[in-house]
Chains A and B, each alone.
Chain A
Amino acid sequence: QLQLQESGPGLVKPSETLSLTCTVFGGSISSTTYYWGWIRQPPGKGPEYLGSMLYSGRTYYSSSLRSRVSISVDTSKSQVSLKLTSLTAADTAVYYCVRQHGTSEHLDYWGQGILVTVSS
Chain B
Amino acid sequence: QSVLTQPPSVSAAPGQKVTISCSGGTSNIGKKYVSWYQHLPGTAPKLLIYDNNQRPSGIPDRFSASKSGTSASLGITGLQTGDEADYYCGSWDTSLSTFVFGTGTKVSVL
What residues make up the interface of A, taking CB atoms closer than 8 Å to B? 39, 46-49, 51-52, 60-63, 96, 100-101, 104-108, 110-113
CB within 8 Å for A110 and B91 given contacts A60-B97, A105-B99: no
Give the contacting residue for B50; candidates A60, A106, A112; CB below 8 A.
A106
With A46-B2, A107-B37 in contact, do A96 and B101 touch (Cβ < 8 Å)? no
Question: 6 tightest A-B contacts by CB?
Answer: A106-B35, A106-B50, A105-B92, A110-B44, A49-B99, A104-B33
**Total number of A-B contacts with CB less than 8 angstroms?**
65
Specify the chain A residue showing the minimal Cβ separation from B34: A106
**Which residues in window 23-79 of B have CB below 8 A to A?**
32-33, 35, 37, 39, 43-47, 50-51, 56
Q: Is the interface of B mostly helix, strand, loop or mixed?
A: strand
* Seed contacts A47-B37, A112-B44; 7 additional CB < 8 Å A-B pairs: A46-B2, A46-B86, A46-B102, A48-B101, A96-B44, A106-B47, A108-B50
